[in-house]
Structures are given as structure tokens and as C-alpha cells.
Amino acid sequence: MENRFFVDSERLSKEALEKKHRLETDPSSRKDYMEYLQGMERIESDVCKNVIDQMNSFDYMKYTARDVKAALEHETCSIEDFKALLSPAAEPFLEKMAQRARLETSKHFGNTVYLFTPLYIANYCENYCVYCGFNCYNDIKRMKLSMEQIEHEMKVISDSGMEEILILTGESRAKSDVKYIGEACKLARKYFRMVGIEIYPVNTDEYRYLRDCGADYVTVFQETYDAEKYETLHLLGHKRVWPYRFDAQERALMGGMRGVAFSALLGLSDFRKDALASALHVYYLQRKYPHAEMSLSCPRLRPIVNNDKINPLDVGEKQLCQIICAYRIFLPYVGITVSSRESAEFRNGIVKIAATKVSAGVSTGIGDHESKYTGKESDGREGDEQFEIADNRSLDKMYDDITGEGLQPVLNDYLYV
């Protein structure tokens, strides 16, 4: 594995450093990533097998311009058509794909764009995922907000006009248990009309509990559907257990959640295969739970600028746009979220084609909304950020920009019943 992610903190003890290096270099020192840990619920489901079989047999080099043209002519996009649209052969057809995607988006969503903001309430983490800023070996300022602090953050965000919130934590059951997250959801219901969560995967009964607390949309990123690659990136902790993570959305739906969101972090492995698997994960679950609402996010590892050895698997803006258009054509009814990791220019462009949801007023740090929103000097008691964002537009600015593009910003489209 390339060494582009490994960072050794000076503050790690000798023992910790040794363990870290052993995990990085000696696969036999890691736990079996396919084996469930104690307490993890196992459900009967054929969704995973369906998705992975399709992914493994996906040979994107065999598709030709003819397949792409045929895919664009078909009224309903089949799985085979979708594969053609994800293939390198589709790259010269990007503009045509964008036009078709826009048509599908307008049929299902009109010209609306939904707005939301994430709220990180804790950044403790028990996992060693080599690419993540929150990983347990990384020397960052850790923080877990108290209920008073959470409420304060929510007030600041709510005062900005935001009506939908996504509550996030680092993946630590010990520091941020389900009850803590549930209490945060109860508070959120006081200030917001729609509450989603992006937390570590939990069992069905825990999803049901969180639903009763007021959350009803669950986002879990699989990071990569390539389980062998996953194993080399998630070296320690419960997140290492790949199949338990895969079934998280299904458990959430079994627990009564209204909707679920999916994603691969494109660029961790072969992005075309990951894009195929992400969409098929949605596709097969939708067939099983036709009432559920589903959405896809599209984060990517950015290609390294000025890297002269161009990696053919890097996800540039064109590739990202191709994937998003293919998602839209294959799954016209799903929401597509584009995060603030992307630039304002990219987000302005992609909402006109296929994206239906964007974040605004984003901070990935802990407890810093007041200083970021109001300019009030921070008291230094803030937790570090998970990643840097590229689009830091406030809600007001985003609202105006979207309106200026001829689209209609929507702050909420949901009613708890």
C-alpha cells in the first residue's frame, strides 16, 4: 500500500507507536475484518451478495461508445446501461450525459435544491482508519459537547435559518454512546424540522431508539465496497468489521427510519467499481424497502495537485461529474448530496445537473459554530476538524447563489408523523 496516509504523532507512547506500526505493516496483527464483534447484530439479507457479485464481475474496459450511446437512448436505464455510463468509454459523452441527467432531475425534483448543515458533537474515535483526521492515533484536540453546548450550537445554527440538521460524531461508542446521541436528537427536534444522523453503525433496536428520539434519516459511508482494500485502510476498531457496516442501512430501515444515505469515498479504491456498488446498494435495498427514501453522497479523495505520475484511478472533477450523472440516470428518484469538500464553482454547476442537496454554513470542527457564524472570538475550547472544506458559504450566501442560478432552495420537505 502507498504510504501517503501514515502520520506518526510525536505524542504517542513507544508502545502505541509500536502497535501502530505493526498494524500498518503486518496484516496478521489485525483482526479478521469479516468477523462480527460481540454485540453486533447479524441480519439475514441477500443485498450484499447481489451488490458484490455485480461489482466483482464489472469489467468497465469492455464497454464501447456504442454501449454508451445505446444506454443514453434507452428510456429506462438498466444495470448494464449504468455500467456503460460509468466506463471510460462514456467520458467523451459527458455533456450528453449531463443533459439527460438534468432532464431526469427536473422530472423528479423540479428545480428544487435542499439545504442542510452538519453538526459535529464529538470527535472521539476508537478506530484507526489511515486516511481520516479523526483516527485514534492522530494528535488532535478531542472534544465531546455537553448537552448545554449542543443546545447552544443548535440555537446559533437555527438562528441562521437552517431547518435541517445532520448530527455527526466520531466513531466511539465509549465516548459518545447511543443514549448521548439520542439526547442530542431530542434537543435537535426542538430547533429543527428534520434531523439526520451520521454516526457509527448500530443495531436495529438502537436505530429504533434513535428514531423515537427524533432522528429519522441515517447516513453511513461504506468508504469502499472493495473489502480487501477496506481491510488495508481500516486497521483497528469496530469500523474494521466490513459486513456489519454494509448492513447498517438495512438495519436502520428495519428500525423504522424513513430514509438512508449511502456513499463510497471515491478514490480509496477503484472508483468505478465503488460507484457501481454504491448505486446498486441503493437499487437492491429500494426493491426490498420500496417505501424508503434513499440518497447518495459523492465524496472523493482529491487527486494530488502537481503529481506528475497521473494515477488513472484518481477522481478528477470530470470523473466525479460522470459518476454523478450516471447515478442520476440510473436512479432518477434518489437524492444526491454534494458536500462542501467540493468548490463553490463545482457545486453551483452540479446542482443544475443532478445534485439535489448541498450543505451550507459548514464546520467540521466541534463547538465552533458561534465563532464561525457570528465572528465572535472563540474561547479556544473547540475540537479539531475532520477535514478541510472547500466551500465555506453561509446559508444566506448559498440561498442567494442557488436562487441566482434559477433554482429554488428548500429548507425542509418533511413532516414528522
CB closer to other proteins, 50 vs 160: 160
The neighbour count for residue 38, using CB atoms within 10 Å, is 4
Does 174 interact with other proteins (rule: CB under 8 A)? no
CB closer to other proteins, 290 vs 375: 290
CB closer to other proteins, 31 vs 102: 102
Does 78 interact with other proteins (rule: CB under 8 A)? no
Does 52 interact with other proteins (rule: CB under 8 A)? no
Among 17, 40, 94, 292, contact with other proteins (rule: CB under 8 A): 292
Smallest distance from other proteins to CB 62, Å: 29
Residue window 262-291: x/- pattern of binding to other proteins, with contact defined by CB under 8 A: ------------------------x---xx
Size of the site for other proteins (CB under 8 A): 24
Does 404 interact with other proteins (rule: CB under 8 A)? no
CB 394 within 8 A of CB 360: yes
Show the beta-strand stretches assigned E in 323-417. Answer: 335-338, 357-359, 408-410
Which of these segments, 102-110, 246-254, 269-277, 309-317, binds other proteins (CB under 8 A)? 102-110
Residue window 103-142: x/- pattern of binding to other proteins, with contact defined by CB under 8 A: ---xxx-xxx------------------------------
Closest by alpha carbon to 128, among 22, 264, 14? 22
Which set of grid coordinates corresponds to residue 26? 503486518
- CB within 8 Å of 79: residues ≥ 6 apart: 54, 280, 283, 330
Binding residues for other proteins restricted to 137-166, rule: CB under 8 A:
161, 163
Q: Please report the DSSP string for 77-124 in residue order.
A: --HHHHHHHHSGGGGGGHHHHHHHHHHHHHHHHTTEEEEEEEEEEE--
Does 189 interact with other proteins (rule: CB under 8 A)? no
Does 102 interact with other proteins (rule: CB under 8 A)? no
The neighbour count for residue 371, using CB atoms within 10 Å, is 17
- CB within 8 Å of 292: residues ≥ 6 apart: 253, 257, 258, 259, 260, 285, 286
- CB within 8 Å of 264: residues ≥ 6 apart: 221, 222, 223, 224, 225, 271, 274, 275, 277, 278
Does 333 interact with other proteins (rule: CB under 8 A)? yes
Does 412 interact with other proteins (rule: CB under 8 A)? yes
Does 411 interact with other proteins (rule: CB under 8 A)? yes
Residues in contact with other proteins by CB under 8 A are: 106-108, 110-112, 161, 163, 193, 286, 290-294, 333, 408, 410-415, 417
